[in-house]
Structure 1
């Protein structure tokens, strides 16, 4: 996902004060809403809304990250050696326009995602399942309309049938992602979107849907329907024709309030029921323990973050002299495993947990949430050890690093306190080892950093990932595969890791997949392509008259905000 946005310091506060009517929920956000079109929903601000206006074929059961249950489907069967999925669809479901949902709508929705697919849309992983490639037809000429049409079809019984070229153990989890919601095809076509036919499919390949007609006039099957929005306010209301249980809260209002102090004041006055927080250190001081506030702690963290050690730095401006002469670094500075291990030993993990996460953090063994299948606690971890860091620096590049020194420029996300602190810890500890070592750290605008890192230009940056779907493949392949989403940012290419990761994609045996991911984790420890950042412990807070948001029901895969869908909330 454009998840790097998720893993900034955005933390959520939820509340329901007497000042807010029982039938209305007010959320004050710090950011814009990029889009309301599911076909391009790949950020948290958009997803937090789209997931309540639209629905997917299936969803996660309760607080489980592994069990799925029907939503717009009623059941499914798997056949053809795990390559054919057949879904029975729910009857008597209406879109917000009043149009009846049919199998044709579901087929249109998935074919639309395959046609318009781009990395920025998040449809690359459903394309990978259904077409065997992450690319769209512009980038992969083997993709034809016939292949797309065959991948998802409605049979004569009105069932939705997916035909995969290969087994994909993560396929069902992928279908639960918000971006795979079913859209109102009749309304979309009426508004001028893709016709759903071969005649104009090529003109829509890779097309940016951010400001599409469906963004302006969304129509889903969700419990809430869109009413209106402007630059600062969004309004949705409960859908009277909803097929499921009617929501207790009628109106949801989202207000853009960039200033933290203003959001906090509104929260404490009761003018807002939910706000974007500012991280544990601030939120604990400002809100924890206040009258009527319930603090919910020790929630699962389904994100993973690291410092990326780019082995092929493409920006000469970050290289200084471009040589190991004390005035710069070569572009392949991090290609020496001794340099990477030295950096891993130079990071003070416990200090970061104490100072930034206020003691509520955990050092993981792999870039995979410890709540996910495939995580192994037996993989070794690096500890802060100045002597070890020194020893590996002395080995690096045949002793030239230690003898000549280096000057490295590292960027961090502007205004990101955690990102800045990570760099400061490294800078302080590494420069203390040798007076010839120099790390310059500087802040950089997020949009620029994302673009430059995608092009391999950044030398050392902090990035993170939160799941599109609750399967280890979404993390392990993303971080560690040579053709994974993050590969251009780190340029660590390992044939053995690729072999294990591809094998894990081709088996449905859980034990075998766990074994393969453990092998990748052990190899990554030895090769140290990343410095793993400790994972914080998630939390939320709510007023004692809010019903439905609790530790028992919290599921980060169901809701980007509360871990609970809007329709399941109410006020006392």
Structure 2
């Protein structure tokens, strides 16, 4: 556990932590923070920090997931049939370095995003409407400097102009994603990042290792908080004295990595931590709800979709690498009979009862049920040992049932819900056939992200939090062979790809809904994922914390902890 000794300079290890001071917000969670580099960050652990260090052009208004309001922009116009976006920018804004914010910084930021864009970053959805490709110049020769330079530029009036190659109804919402925060151009170049010129852009195209860039170590944004110190176990940020907006009431924010749930709970109940990562509804209601000093907030919206990934082309060896009971071949999950058998093996209702304490729902597709495009009429799998047995006996010509298998499946270290889901599946597999062995183990979040993106994980549980409130952001991500999650599943269906591409080219919502229903029904038939039931969201906090989930909650901000920016918080 960490003890705050000198807020302005250091965090040191100790065995105790005094009650969180009135000017300090203490958050404890099980996961590490993979990166503070906006150009590569694409996970919630990183995003919760980045959205407070950097600022975007636009942000979400109040609790709405669709209404946007200005942040570093002051207003905007859309012209040229929806292909040109022109932004007026806020004046008298400073970066943490002391440099003044100008249009050149915004232009540099988005050009840098397009230049460094990789398959494991969130910039693909920006690149597509701006340069006509999800790839960078190194991977796609059609992505040229001329296209990048034209895509975003500053006009003579100091306005930022985006020139889209095709209409994108979700473009504004995309600019509100946390990693779209504006980077300090002068600072970035000074510490060794891309110099912003055509001469060097190919050297930075799809650059590897950006998660550990100079900006990851020394960020400079316009946000209300600036980084003071960060190591493997803790992060300290402090309010930026030069912030253009209202001065934050919370001066210091500490995020501590505390893997043990019991330790987080004890710190929270003592008042040593203001917000913690919980252990799932069943655990949290038993251990936290109703306790002194605790505010419990229920029935919050859930816009996350989560599934078991069954990798059809594993990059590496699982056990023996053969279907001999001691491992599995790399293409084990490519047999639809295997995937259907697993889908029938998981006990969805048990998960809802044990983890979500009855407050959960089994969705029909990997899309929040509140989003347009969700079809409640699509069939769902249920736990059925007889059906699972029948499909296992068909799989791989009967050899799965005859020989059995051993699979190593990883879950995010500290995630009680993911661990319980794995244990439910593990137990049911062994009951159906003692030769079926699922070896489950915890893994650090950053390692799991990298290995799963490289296709090395055979089976994992992972979710998707929306970048913007549109069905495409989920369905393309999960189900398209060009989607972000494809390297983790390697499931490809040409007809599904066609339907998803068609849905992207029309603004007719009824037609999009029809296409998404087709995708969902096909996914039910092919079972590329095992859908984890969606919980009714809840939150809890210390009763002296003001401005978070108990007041205004936006599921697009602050992720599971606050639903707002740190600058909106205070203590009474």
Same fold (TM over 0.5): yes
Tell whether 2:46 aligns with 1:49: no
**Cα deviation, residue 445, structure 1:** 3.5
- The answer to whether the 8 A contact 1:342-1:389 is kept is yes
Change (3 A) 1:259 1:382: closer
Tell whether 2:441 aligns with 1:443: yes
**Which residues of structure 2 form unaligned runs of 5+?**
1-16
Larger CA deviation: 52-61 vs 251-260: 251-260
- The answer to whether the 8 A contact 1:167-1:505 is kept is no
Hey, what does 1:350 align to over in structure 2? 349
Instruction: Please give the secondary structure, in 2, of the residue aligned with 1:554.
Output: coil
Tell whether 2:216 aligns with 1:215: yes
Change (3 A) 1:455 1:318: farther
Where relative contact order (Cα < 8 A, 6+ residues apart) is larger, the structure is 1
Hey, what does 1:387 align to over in structure 2? 386
Change (3 A) 1:438 1:255: closer
**Cα deviation, residue 301, structure 1:** 2.2
- The answer to whether the 8 A contact 2:268-2:542 is kept is no
Instruction: Please give the secondary structure, in 2, of the residue aligned with 1:40.
Output: coil
Deviations 1:97-144 (A, max 9, x none): 343322111101111111222233432332233222222222223322
**Cα deviation, residue 294, structure 1:** 0.7
**Cα deviation, residue 171, structure 1:** 1.9
Larger CA deviation: 537-546 vs 105-114: 537-546
Hey, what does 1:293 align to over in structure 2? 294
Change (3 A) 1:340 1:26: closer
Tell whether 2:464 aligns with 1:473: no
Hey, what does 2:537 align to over in structure 1? 538
Distance 1:203 1:534 in 2: 44
Larger CA deviation: 261-270 vs 483-492: 261-270
Change (3 A) 1:343 1:20: closer
Change (3 A) 1:424 1:222: closer
Change (3 A) 1:52 1:334: closer
Distance 1:31 1:242 in 2: 29
- The answer to whether the 8 A contact 1:63-1:552 is kept is no
Hey, what does 2:164 align to over in structure 1? 164
Tell whether 2:510 aligns with 1:511: yes
Change (3 A) 1:166 1:20: same
Instruction: Please give the secondary structure, in 2, of the residue aligned with 1:485.
Output: coil
Distance 1:394 1:228 in 2: 55
Hey, what does 1:279 align to over in structure 2? 280
Q: How many residues align?
A: 552
**Cα deviation, residue 367, structure 1:** 0.6
**Cα deviation, residue 427, structure 1:** 4.2
Tell whether 2:130 aligns with 1:119: no
Hey, what does 2:377 align to over in structure 1? 378
Change (3 A) 1:337 1:280: same
Hey, what does 2:368 align to over in structure 1? 369
**Cα deviation, residue 556, structure 1:** 2.3
Distance 1:90 1:356 in 2: 46
- The answer to whether the 8 A contact 2:184-2:221 is kept is yes
Hey, what does 1:64 align to over in structure 2? 64
Hey, what does 1:500 align to over in structure 2? 499
Distance 2:256 2:425 in 1: 39
Hey, what does 1:11 align to over in structure 2? none
- Superposed, 1:133-532 pairs within 5 Å as 133-207=133-207, 208-229=209-230, 233-318=234-319, 321-322=322-323, 331-396=330-395, 400=398, 404=402, 406-413=404-411, 415=413, 416-433=415-432, 438-443=436-441, 445-446=443-444, 450-532=449-531
**Cα deviation, residue 259, structure 1:** 4.5
Hey, what does 1:5 align to over in structure 2? none
Hey, what does 1:558 align to over in structure 2? 557
Distance 2:312 2:261 in 1: 38
Change (3 A) 1:39 1:321: closer
Distance 2:315 2:364 in 1: 29
Distance 2:121 2:280 in 1: 28
Distance 1:422 1:550 in 2: 27
- The answer to whether the 8 A contact 1:151-1:163 is kept is yes
Change (3 A) 1:37 1:62: same
**Cα deviation, residue 319, structure 1:** 6.2
Distance 2:199 2:384 in 1: 63
- The answer to whether the 8 A contact 2:282-2:357 is kept is yes
Larger CA deviation: 47-56 vs 84-93: 84-93
Change (3 A) 1:69 1:461: same
- The answer to whether the 8 A contact 1:334-1:340 is kept is yes
Change (3 A) 1:243 1:205: same
Distance 2:451 2:224 in 1: 40
Larger CA deviation: 460-469 vs 228-237: 228-237
Distance 2:453 2:557 in 1: 29
Hey, what does 1:128 align to over in structure 2? 128
**Cα deviation, residue 218, structure 1:** 2.5
**Cα deviation, residue 458, structure 1:** 4.1
Deviations 1:161-198 (A, max 9, x none): 11222222332221111111112212222333222222
**Cα deviation, residue 150, structure 1:** 0.8
Hey, what does 1:78 align to over in structure 2? 78
Distance 1:257 1:395 in 2: 45
Deviations 1:525-555 (A, max 9, x none): 1222211111223221122222211355111
Larger CA deviation: 223-232 vs 146-155: 223-232
Distance 1:357 1:451 in 2: 29
Give the alignment's Cα RMSD to 1 decimal.
2.9
Change (3 A) 1:147 1:384: same
Hey, what does 1:93 align to over in structure 2? 93
Distance 1:168 1:537 in 2: 31
For normalisation by structure 1, the TM-score amounts to 0.87
Instruction: Please give the secondary structure, in 2, of the residue aligned with 1:439.
Output: strand
**Cα deviation, residue 232, structure 1:** 5.1
- The answer to whether the 8 A contact 2:318-2:328 is kept is no
Deviations 1:286-316 (A, max 9, x none): 3211112111122222222222233344545
